[in-house]
Amino acid sequence: MQHNLENTIALLGRTPAALDALLRDLPEAWTRQNEGENTWSAFDVVGHLIHGERTDWMPRARIILQFGETRAFEPFDRWAQMRESEGKSFGQLLDEFARLRSVNLAGLRALNLRPEDFQRRGRHPALGVVTLSELLATWAAHDLTHLHQISRIMAHQYREAVGPWTSFLGVMQCAGHSS
Amino acid sequence: MQHNLENTIALLGRTPAALDALLRDLPEAWTRQNEGENTWSAFDVVGHLIHGERTDWMPRARIILQFGETRAFEPFDRWAQMRESEGKSFGQLLDEFARLRSVNLAGLRALNLRPEDFQRRGRHPALGVVTLSELLATWAAHDLTHLHQISRIMAHQYREAVGPWTSFLGVMQCAGHSS
C-alpha cells in the first residue's frame, strides 16, 4: 500500500503496549540476553526505540518541514542506548518509550499535514533525498523491524532447547539482515 | 539456555496480550494482507495459533506422557485456519486465542511435571524421537516464530512506501525461512 497517515499512526500507537504486554516482568533470561558479540538484547532494542523517539523521527520531520533539502538530518547513533539505558529497569524503559511515543504522536497530529506535505523532500546523510511520506512510513516499519528482531533474539535463547524442531521454525533460520 | 518451564510459561502467557495490543482494531490494510500467493496474513497467523492450541501442544504433551514413543503425534494441518477462521472477526480470533491459551497453561500446570518428566520421549511423525522438554520449548519458540512472521508480513505492506530506507530495515530483507 501507499503510505497512509492514519494507518501509520494506528501502528505507531500500538507498539508500546504490544512491547509492554510481551516484555514487562518477563524473566531476564529472555530480555537481557543477546545473539552474541556486538548484538542487542530486547532491553537494548527498547533503549534504541527510545533514542529514536528523542532524536530521529519527529526531529527529522520538523527538519523537512522547516529546511527541506537544504539541511541534512543529524546522523543517528545506533549505540546510544548502551549509555542511556544504563542502570534503568526494563519497566522504566517501557514507561519512557510509551510516554515519548505518545508525545510524538500528539506532535505529529498537531502538524496538521496536508496531502501535498507528504511529498516534501529532505536530505538523509547517507541515503540522500527522501520524502516526508517515506520518513513516516519508515517510522512504522522501523517498529516492525525491531519487533521482528526482538522475536528473533528471544527465540535464539531456545535454539538448543527446541531440539530437532529448529528446522521447522523460520525464526531460527533468520540471519538478522543487519538488525 | 536450557528449557525452563517457568520461563516457557512466562512467555506463553504473554503472547495473547501482546498480539491483542498490536492487532486489535488495527486497520485491515495491516492485518488482512499477506506477502503474496500461498502466504498468510496476520489474521491467518492468529488462526494458526488457535489451531495449535486445539490440536498441537497440549494434546502432544499428553500423548508423550500417556504413550511415550509408541504412538506418533497426529500430523499438524498448517492450513486448517483458512477453514476455521472463515467469517470470524479478528477480535473473535484474539479472544479465542487468549481463552484457549489460558486453558492450556492451566492444564500444563495441572500436570505437575517433575524434573525427570521433561526427558520423556515421544514420536513426531516427521522428526522422529523428541522429548517433552523439546515440545514445550518449541511451543514458546513457535509463538516467537509467528511474531517474527507477523512483523514481516506487516512491514511488507510498506515495502514501497519506505523508499530508500528499505536497505536499512532488516525486516525488509527477511526471506521468510518457510514461515
Candidates B131, B141, B165; nearest CB to A155? B141
Q: How confident is the model at residue A177 (pLDDT cuts 50, 70, 90)?
A: low
Model pLDDT, residue B179: 52
Q: Do A169 and B141 touch (CB under 8 A)?
A: yes
As a whole number, mean pLDDT of residues B133-144 equals: 98
Task: Show residues of chain B in contact with A168, CB under 8 Å.
Answer: 127, 138, 178-179
Model pLDDT, residue A61: 98
Q: How confident is the model at residue B95 (pLDDT cuts 50, 70, 90)?
A: very high
Strand partners, A123: A72, A129
pLDDT digits (tens, 9 = 90+) for A72-98: 998 888 888 888 889 999 999 999 999
Pairs across A and B, CB distance < 8 A:
208
Candidates B23, B148, B172; nearest CB to A170? B148
Q: Do B162 and A6 touch (CB under 8 A)?
A: no
Candidates A6, A164, A170; nearest CB to B149? A170
As a whole number, mean pLDDT of residues A30-55 equals: 96
Residue B65: pLDDT over 90: yes
Cα of B15 to nearest chain A Cα, Å: 6
What does the alpha-carbon distance between residue A109 and residue B16 come to, in Å, rounded to a whole number?
Answer: 30
Model pLDDT, residue B177: 66
Q: Do A145 and B169 touch (CB under 8 A)?
A: yes
What does the alpha-carbon distance between residue B56 and residue B74 come to, in Å, rounded to a whole number?
Answer: 8
Model pLDDT, residue B178: 56
Pick among B48, B118, B169, B179 to test the A interface (most A CBs inside 10 A): B169
DSSP A4-68: -HHHHHHHHHHHHHHHHHHHTT--HHHHS--SSTT---HHHHHHHHHHHHHHTHHHHHHHHHHHG
Task: Show residues of chain A in contact with B145, CB under 8 Å.
Answer: 151, 155, 169-172
Q: Do B174 and A174 touch (CB under 8 A)?
A: yes
**Up-side HSE of residue A41: CA atoms within 13 Å toward CB?**
17
Residue A176: pLDDT over 80: no
Question: Closest by alpha carbon to A112, among A65, A159, A69, A157?
Answer: A65
Q: How confident is the model at residue A175 (pLDDT cuts 50, 70, 90)?
A: confident
What does the alpha-carbon distance between residue B165 and residue B160 come to, in Å, rounded to a whole number?
Answer: 10
**CB contact at 8 A, A11 and B154:** yes
User: Average pLDDT of chain A?
Assistant: 95
pLDDT digits (tens, 9 = 90+) for A116-141: 999 999 999 999 999 999 999 999 99
Model pLDDT, residue A140: 98
Cα of B144 to nearest chain A Cα, Å: 5
Pick among B174, B178, B179 to test the A interface (most A CBs inside 10 A): B174
